[in-house]
A and B are shown apart, each in its own frame.
Chain A
Amino acid sequence: MDFTLPQYDPFRMLPEIFMLLWALWVFTYDLITKRQKEAAVGYMALIGPAVPLLFIVFYLTGLLPESWRYGGSGFGAMFFNDTTAMFFKIVFLGAAIMAIGSSFGITKQKIVNHRGEFYGLLLFSTLGMMFLASSNELLTLYIGLELTTIPLFVLAAFFKDDKLSVEAGVKYFVIGAFSSALLLYGMSFLYGLSGTTGLVQMKMNMAVVFLSYRDIGVILLGGIVLLVAGVGFKLALPPFHQWAPDVYEGSPTPIAAFLSVGSKAAGLVAFGKIFVNGLMAFFGPEQAPNDWGMLVGLLAILAMVIGNVVAIRQTNIKRMLAYSSIAQAGYIMIGMVVLNEHGMASVAYYIFAYMFANMGAFAAVAIFEDQTGSCQIEDYKGLAKTSPVFAVSLSLFLLSLVGIPPLAGFLAKYKVFAAAISMATVDPSASWLYWLVGVGVLTAVFSLFYYANVMRLMFFSNEEPRHKITYSVPALCVLLLGLAGIVVFGIYAEPILKLVRTIPADFGLYIP
């Protein structure tokens, strides 16, 4: 039993180490200022994700000195900075920045005593996501996932005396823990079959096992089902989606936003790492046993149909956005089941565009809720008359979610559909992907119904508006950041597309 520790390089974890220390500092800062400074804590918390974000962006654009080798392995397969890791870290950090930026209203009015904890936990959750993105191994992946969700349990139930919030916390906790248990049990089978937890090693060992027995076996099948269910809960893919609307409705709006983007992106990374990388051999008919591809395709169809159809009859905008994000997860999963050089790239671009649009939409909802205390779509009536900037920016976010060019959401949908078609035109046995694209197109038309409904109320209503929106500086910045994101990366997408192009290689989908 000899055991060699992989080489440990803390330099490559610099952003994570900074995040950890900064989260602790935010806790302490709130305490030593005797919980008096409301905005200062928020600005302090903003530095937490901003510095690592700049670090990674500088590294990717080549602005850091050559000798700073940030990319590469920090601790064997347990911590590995490839393009995927860095790209998704940008998404997580961006989502965290926008979530913190839109929390200023809440921390001013509702959270009086625990601002430090609120922001600190948000940072901890982001930290978990960052570890998750860097892991190429089941153990760190699991720990990253737990570090992501456990703070979110607390955050969802943060309004301790608000029954809705506590209910959201209970539901999210039960579902979260339940899905972790399913995931773990599935992982234990993967370990049992392959003898390793490193994803690349696992892929090879599994292929050997499969080749020697010519059979996938009940155990792996059971493992796959458990894993799909486990990650499916985290991603809110139907039929594991019922918790999402309740939790989004009950929890504080910035947290709902962070759940719908950050936590969803984390689930996607986990899914991609386990399935696209680790279980790639068990994907499609070409590789003989066709086990998770079609299953996930079916879930994607369900997600698009259920998400888009149920969203139509929602009256609460947070619930509507919850169903919309269920549907968006369906679109993303189309890219996920495409195992060629386009698949994961489209997923990455989609989540990037989705981050700006959805965080922006939730930020707008948060601004509205802070001032009026309401989340009913009815109350948005006639807002265009009193607050045109608000109405136009919310409409642009929704249009990006529908996928109207030239906004980033369109390019994202385009990439996903293109990925599916690219596989289907080459491989006749993958022609079921056309069905995914077909359903995607049809449901995208449906989605216009409920997005356009909000716009209709804001612009077309004759009633005198009941509210007028005033903006605080951070909230306005978040709105503008989101707008800039969907417009700029819709028109000038080249740098992002260049970056995501190398992502499928990290999953072993092609050799660059």
Chain B
Amino acid sequence: MEKEILTLVTFFPLVGVVLLTILPRDRHDSIKGFALIISFVTFLFSTWLYYMFDPLGNGMQMEVNIPWITSLGISYHMGVDGISLLLIMLTTILTFLSILASWNSIKTGVKGYYISMLLLETGMIGVFCALDLFMFYVFWEVMLVPMYFIIGLWGGPRKIYAAIKFVLFTMFGSLLMLVGIIYILFEYQKYSGVFSFDMLKIIGELPLSYQAQLWLFGAFALAFAIKVPLFPFHTWLPDAHVQAPTAGSVILAGVLLKMGTYGFIRICLPLFPDATITYLPYICILSLIAIIYGALVAMVQRDVKSLVAFSSVSHMGFVMLGMFALNTQGIQGSIIQMINHGISTGGLFLLVGMLYERRHTRLIEDFGGIARVMPAYAAFFMIITLSSIGLPFTNGFVGEFLILLGAFHKNNVYGIIGATGVVFAACYMLWMYQRVFFGKVTNDENKKLLDLSWREKVILVPLVLLVFWIGVYPKPLFEILKPSVNLVVEQMERAEAVRLDDDYRVEEKLTTVEVGNNELSFDTEEQSDE
């Protein structure tokens, strides 16, 4: 079973796609039901995967490696480590919740919608499992099409513009990545004599010249940075988020953005360590700009959904900052923050969607005093907001704290600027909360609003549980992440050491790195729990 579990998790949604294609178009209830069951079973499979995963094991687990197109060196190679495991869990749970959340809001083209959702799920899980560059690219592109339709068919007023912009941006980046992948293929063939896209082999064996690394890092990083999105490439994101239907935004923010950061940590860092060191300051600066810029723009938004969208830009800036701190705390924090962002921003989009279903507006000025009409809703919104801000005991704190710790280790300036971002986040989120929920009910239409239904509570409760679980007891996550993160950090340190060989301060720097290493990450965490 150990061999098949990954294939099962990845392609089980496809079974649902086939099933839904057969069902007649007007049987809405059975279509929804089947989609829900399929996504739930996928989630169960992923929890099974979680239990089968050995947190002490090094490297990839549950590996499958079957030749696929042998003449091109393409193989069906899948495997998970701690990082991908957590992201797969996130994907399955968010897909399940967003299918539940679209129960009433999607009224036209029900069949196509759920087919797209399940297709998307396969693509996303595939990206996180693939250990073959070619397969990685295939899954990466496959999810483009269902997302295009989800935004373009069931989205808001400017949906077509948003959908096409999203696809063009992503496609441009990914084609550059394709060129990079092909280049690596031939470099590897020159080096070893065989064609292979095997990520592990390429990372482990292939020596790339510094010059080549610079170019390749550029090609890959552009594709990933567009997806993240890093500061100058973020313009597609607000459009896509605001126009997409609720479930689309949840998946987009919760999972698709993580594919970019996952690409960085899985491919860019280990494969181009020297180039990473060179590009590091630029990427850090861009992420800092993203943090501040995202926060400032979020503050002036009138639409709650675009506020959340811009807060995403800011949060993903944190993730990038932590990752490029290149130390244990930073990278661990950045992965935890990926999960957190999925939970909290996903939750916010769900909540905004619920309000939109009732009032058909998202403008902050239309609301006020909602807390009196919908107390349960306000409570849930509060918890998720606090988690997004990063209050202690919530998941956001763990991630942001570690990221800032890592950033301070790297460079005090990064840490200081990053910390201001946290303050800004508190400002715009709480200000928005105050304007929407407190005060008198000024608008008559708001007086009739119904509080959450049991279905909506079912959607939100797991998220709230996750918020507190990660916030109070994150140890299991760190244990899962530890081997994979250590591997990345070691690789980066080796590269840094080689780079600094000629530097007269080589010893000084190495010692600081060691100090950073000795503070084992979950120790620091346990302190922060109390």
Binding site for B on A (CB under 8 A): 388, 399, 404-406, 410, 414, 417-418, 421-422, 425-426, 437-438, 441-442, 444-445, 448-449, 452, 456, 459-460, 493-494, 497-498, 501
Contacts and interface: CB of A to CB of B under 8 A. Distances in A.
A441 B180 CA distance: 12
A441 B144 CA distance: 17
Interface stretch (B152-160, B231-239, B438-446): B152-160
B23 to A, nearest CB: 13
B415 to A, nearest CB: 38
B430 interface: no
B183 interface: yes
Interface in B30-87: 68-72
A367 B148 CA distance: 26
A418 B148 CA distance: 27
A418 B188 CA distance: 13
Contact of A417 (B144, B145, B168, B179): B179
A501 B69 CA distance: 13
Interface size class of B (residues with CB under 8 A): 35 or more
Given A414-B178, A441-B178, 9 more contacts: A406-B142, A414-B182, A417-B179, A421-B186, A425-B183, A441-B175, A445-B175, A448-B168, A452-B167
24 contacts: A388-B112, A404-B144, A410-B138, A410-B141, A417-B179, A418-B182, A421-B182, A425-B186, A437-B179, A441-B176, A441-B179, A442-B172, A445-B168, A445-B171, A448-B168, A449-B168, A452-B148, A452-B164, A456-B164, A459-B152, A493-B69, A494-B68, A497-B69, A497-B71
Contact of B159 (A417, A421, A460): A460
B185 interface: yes
Interface in B155-203: 159-160, 163-164, 167-168, 171-172, 175-176, 178-179, 182-183, 185-187, 190
Contacts of B72: 497
Contacts of B163: 460
A445 B71 CA distance: 28
Contact of B153 (A445, A459, A494): A459
Contacts of B168: 445, 448-449
User: Can you list the 5 inter-chain pairs with the closest CB atoms, starting with the nearest?
Assistant: A405-B138, A441-B175, A497-B71, A418-B182, A425-B186
B179 A422 contact: no
B149 interface: yes
B141 A405 contact: yes
A448 B171 contact: yes
A456 B186 CA distance: 38
B167 A448 contact: yes
A296 B158 CA distance: 43
B137 interface: yes
Interface in B118-142: 137-138, 141-142
Contacts of B178: 414, 417, 441
B141 A460 contact: no
A501 B70 CA distance: 12
B186 A459 contact: no
A405 B138 CA distance: 5
Contacts of B68: 494
Contacts of A459: 149, 152-153
A220 B394 CA distance: 77
Interface of B: 25, 68-72, 112, 137-138, 141-142, 144-145, 148-149, 152-153, 159-160, 163-164, 167-168, 171-172, 175-176, 178-179, 182-183, 185-187, 190
Contacts of A493: 69
Contacts of B25: 388
Contacts of B167: 448, 452
* Most A-side CB within 10 Å, residue of B70, B144, B145, B153: B145
A210 B284 CA distance: 58
Contact of A445 (B172, B179, B183): B172
A460 B154 CA distance: 9
A406 B69 CA distance: 13
B186 A460 contact: no
Given A404-B144, A501-B71, A456 B182 contact: no
B222 to A, nearest CB: 12
A59 B190 CA distance: 35
A442 B179 CA distance: 11
B190 A425 contact: yes
Contact of A422 (B112, B141, B172, B186): B186
Contacts of B152: 456, 459-460
Contacts of B183: 421, 425
Contacts of B71: 494, 497-498, 501
Contacts of B138: 405-406, 410
Contacts of A438: 179
Given A448-B168, A460-B160, A494 B141 contact: no
Contacts of B187: 425
A395 to B, nearest CB: 9
A494 B179 contact: no
A512 to B, nearest CB: 14
Contacts of B160: 456, 460
A404 B172 contact: no
Nearest to A437: B179
A444 B178 CA distance: 12
Contacts of B70: 494
Nearest to B190: A425
A307 B443 CA distance: 56
Contacts of A498: 71
A475 to B, nearest CB: 21
Contacts of B149: 459
A418 B185 contact: yes
A494 B171 contact: no
Contact of B141 (A404, A421, A426): A404
A405 B137 contact: yes
A493 B164 CA distance: 30
A258 B72 CA distance: 30
A308 to B, nearest CB: 13
A457 to B, nearest CB: 10
A501 B182 CA distance: 18
Contacts of B171: 444-445, 448
A432 B141 CA distance: 28
* Most B-side CB within 10 Å, residue of A410, A417, A449, A460: A460
Contacts of A404: 141-142, 144-145
Contacts of A494: 68-71
A485 B6 CA distance: 28
Contact of B179 (A410, A421, A460, A497): A421
A330 to B, nearest CB: 15
Contacts of B69: 493-494, 497
Nearest to B189: A422
Given A404-B141, A441-B175, A460 B153 contact: yes
Contacts of B153: 459-460
B144 A444 contact: no
B189 to A, nearest CB: 8
Contacts of A449: 164, 168
Contacts of A405: 137-138, 141-142
A198 B38 CA distance: 63
A140 B185 CA distance: 40
A426 B191 CA distance: 12
Contacts of A410: 138, 141
Nearest to B164: A452
A418 B189 CA distance: 12
B168 to A, nearest CB: 6
A379 B77 CA distance: 45
B156 to A, nearest CB: 13
Nearest to A423: B186
A488 B179 CA distance: 24
A284 B190 CA distance: 22
A363 B478 CA distance: 56
A410 B72 CA distance: 14
A317 to B, nearest CB: 19
Contacts of A418: 182, 185-186
